[in-house]
Amino acid sequence: MVSERRKTFVAREDLLRAISEIAKENGKSLYETVNEIFESAILFKKNGVKMGAALEDCGKMKAARETGYILCLENLWSEINEVAYGASPADAASAWRNAGVWFGKKHAAGQPAGYFESMRKELEFSLWNVSEFSMKWDEQCGKAEISVLAPRFSRSKSELFACFFEGMLSAIGLKVNHRESGSGFIRVVGKREDAQNRGDAIEKS
């Protein structure tokens, strides 16, 4: 067996204190905890994963679970929506529109000073198999524009997402004045016509 050799290293006092607390909470020694941290850092490196990015993704996944996201096979999820849309297009569209309203209201309530950017970031994280996603806010015109290119989206799937975006924009006080969708593409434009008169503003994306 390779003999275990110890070396002394220097760490900031606040970090060392925090690690000591973690060690106590887990019923481990400081030595064990520090070595576990080193082993994790080495494992991240070997797998080509940046620790900062991994931590950010874990935070997003945690937030997604708390929000109500679930893991589901893509083909199953798509098939369920196709069946629902085929059985009742109006009911399926209404369900997606209502989900968009809830999504918009959630962000407006949780991020009153930055909900447009908050929505954009969550959509970027949650929209998979999308080639291009753009969500822009024109403060001067009081207009929001959402564009999606997704070759794997069917016509009905694109239509349902368009309904979602329509509900989302309506929840933040925008009236949708243009909406188009088809196999693999979506474009929804909403405008707050009296935004400048009221002095309302949404931060630029």
- Report the alpha-carbon distance of residue 178 to residue 200 in Å, rounded: 21
If residue 106 lies in a helix (H) or strand (E), which one and from where to where? Answer: helix 89-110
- Report the alpha-carbon distance of residue 179 to residue 191 in Å, rounded: 12
Count of CA atoms in the C-beta half-sphere (13 A) of 112 = 1
- Residue with the larger pLDDT of the pair 90 and 7: 90
Tokens of 52: 């900062």
Decide the pairing of beta strands 143-149 and 185-191. antiparallel
Render pLDDT for 127-167 as a digit per residue (tens, 0 to 9).
888 999 999 999 888 899 999 999 999 999 999 999 999 99
Residue 198 is predicted with a pLDDT of 45
Q: Where are the domains of the chain?
A: 13-49, 64-198
The domain 64-198 is classified under which CATH number: 3.10.590, 1.10.287, 3.30.1380, 2.40.128? 3.30.1380
Backbone angles phi, psi at 194, to 5 degrees: -105, 20
Q: In the sheet where 175-182 sits, what is the strand order? A: 132-138, 143-149, 185-191, 175-182
Q: Would you say residue 196 has pLDDT above 60?
A: no
Tokens of 67: 């929000």
DSSP-derived letter for residue 172 is T
Exposure string for 103-139, b = 16+ CB within 10 A, e = fewer: bbbbbbeeeeeebbbbbbbbbeeeeeebeeeebebee
Q: How confident is the model at residue 204 (pLDDT cuts 50, 70, 90)?
A: very low
- Residue with the larger pLDDT of the pair 182 and 72: 182
pTM over 0.85: no
Query: What is the 3-state composition of the chain as percent helix, strand, coil, each rounded to the nearest 5?
Result: 55, 15, 30
